[in-house]
Structure 1
C-alpha cells in the first residue's frame, strides 16, 4: 500500500506539480544535472527543492522512527508515529490543494511538490526502522535488480514474489496516479491520504505482535 502511494505521488508530482518526482531522488538529481546543462532555471529550482524537501523529511522521519532494536515487534510503534507525521504533511498538502483548486501558480505547485517530497522522505526513513536490508517503499531500483538476479539464479518464486509485488504496486500506483492527475485532478490528494490512513489503521493492530530479534548485519 505504501509503495502504491509512492507511485501515485510520483505521477502527480511529475504531471501536475512542475515535472519532478516526489520520491525518485535519483531522477531528480538527473533532472538537476540536465537543467544545469541546458540552462533551465525553472527545472533546476523544481528538482532542487524536491531533493532538499525529501532530505528534510528523511531527517524528521529518522528522528521519529529511530533505528531497529533487538526485540522489536513485527511492526514497531514508532514506525506508525512516523507515518502519522507523513499523514499530517499530506493533510497540509490537501489544504493547500483545496485552497487553490484551479489555475495554480508555479509557486503553489512548487510548495505542493515540496510537501509531497517531504512526506515521502518521512516514509522512506520510517521503513528503515524494520531493519530489513533492501526493504523500501520508495527507492526500488535495487528491488528490481534483486528480482532479476534472483530469476537468473533460479531462486524459488516464494522468495521473489514480495519483490515482484512491490514493483507491481509502484507501477499500479503510477498508472492510477496518472489517470487521476489527467482526468480527475481534484481527487489527487485522496490517492495520497487514503492508502496511508489504511496502513496506519492496520499497523496499529500489529504494533504489539512480537517479532524476531534483528541481527547486527540487518541493523
Structure 2
C-alpha cells in the first residue's frame, strides 16, 4: 500500500517530493558504492548481506565497511525520528518532514565538506568512512521523515516492499489498481544510480553534488506543500481528501469517538473499519484532538483498527445497528475488545 491511498490537498506535489528523494537515495548509493568497496548508503538489506558474507568468509576487516553504513543509518534514523517528533509537538507533520529534510541536507553538506577537504592521500580511509557513515546517517534521517508522508508512510530508500505492494496491487483479484507513485520511485532509483555512475566515470568530483541538489529540490517542494495546506508554519494539521458523502442510511449508522494517547489526551491516528466479510468499509484520520467518525454501509459486527502516531496498534470489535455508537480508543492495551 502506498502512502497516497488517502491523498491530501497537494497529492501530486507531495508525490514529487518522494520521487525526488528516491532519486537522491539512488544517486548517493552510487557515490558510496564507488567510495568504499561497494557499500550502500541507503540500502541496508544489501549491507546486511555483505556483512554476513564477510563474517562467513572470515573477512573480519571487511565487516567494518558494512558496519559503518549500518551504524550510520541507525544513528540517522534515531536522530530523524527524534527531530520529527519534537517538531510535531507544536507543528503539523508537513513541517516535521520539512525540518527533518533540512537536517538531512545540513548533514550532507557537512559530509561533503569533509569529503572534499580530506584530499591528502594519507586520509583516504578516513575520507571513505566519513562518506559512508555520514551518507548513511543522512539516509536514516530521510527515512524517518518519510514515515509521516501518508497514513502508511512512503519509503524512498528501501523499495523491496514497494515493489511487492505495487505488483500485488495490480494483479489483486478483488480490486486491482495502478499505483503510479510506486512505479516512479522504482524506476527513478535505478535511473539516478545510473546517472551517478556516469558522472563518476566522467567527472568524479561532481558525483556528490547530485544527491545534495536533489535533497535541496525536495525541501523546496515540501515547503510548497506546506504552504498549500493552510500555508503557515503554525496552523494546519494533516488534511486528507474528503471521503464521499454517505447516503442517508449510512449517516444513521456510524461509530464515533476519540483516540487517547499514553498521557490520556487525544492523539492523532488512522482508523480503519473492516466489515464482517473482511473488506475495508471505511478509513479516516482523526483531527488533532483525536476525534474520528466512521460510517458503516449495513448493520453488523465490525472490526475497528487503530494506528496511533505515538503508540501501538489497537483492535476493537464494535456492533453497529442504527444510530451513532460511541467508542473511545484507549492507550492502555494493544488489544481493546
TM-score under structure 1 length normalisation: 0.89
Take 1:17 and 1:33, find their aligned partners in 2: how far apart are those partners? 17
Q: CA deviation at 1:97?
A: 2.0
| Runs of 5+ consecutive residues of structure 2 not aligned to the other structure | 1-19, 231-238, 241-267, 272-305, 310-337
Does residue 81 (structure 1) correspond to residue 136 (structure 2)? The answer is: no
Task: Please state how far the C-alpha of 1:214 moved relative to its aligned partner.
Answer: 5.2
Decide whether the 8 Å contact of 2:77 with 2:144 is kept in 1: yes
Which residue of 2 is the match for residue 18 of structure 1?
A: 37
Q: What RMSD, in angstroms, separates the aligned Cα atoms of the two structures?
A: 2.3
Match of 2:58? 39
TM-score of the superposition, structure 2-length normalised? 0.59
Distance 1:109 1:138 in 2: 21
Alignment partner of 2:143 out of 111, 116, 124: 124
* 8 Å CA contact 1:67, 1:128 repeated in 2: no
Q: 1:156 aligns with which of 177, 188, 211?
A: 177
Aligned residues of 1:93 and 1:189 also touching (Cα < 8 A):
no
Q: What SS is found at the alignment partner of 1:41? A: coil
Whether the 8 Å contact between 2:27 and 2:195 is mirrored in structure 1 is yes
The answer to which structure, 1 or 2, has the higher relative contact order (CA under 8 A, 6+ apart) is 1
Corresponding position: 1:97 with 2:115 = yes
Deviates more, 1:104-113 or 1:141-150: 104-113
> Partners of 2:129 and 2:96 in 1: how far apart?
30
| Higher CA-based Rg | 2
Are 1:215 and 2:270 counterparts?
Answer: yes
What is the CA distance between 1:101 and its match in structure 2? 4.5
Per-residue deviation, 1:26 = 1.1
Q: Considering fraction of residues, name the structure with more helix.
A: 1
Q: What CA deviation, in whole Å up to 9, does each residue of 1:44-101 have, x standing for no partner?
A: 00101110110000001001112997xx86x611111111110111101211122135
How far is 1:189 from its partner?
1.7
Q: Which structure 1 residue ranges, 4+ long, deviate > 6 Å from structure 2?
A: none
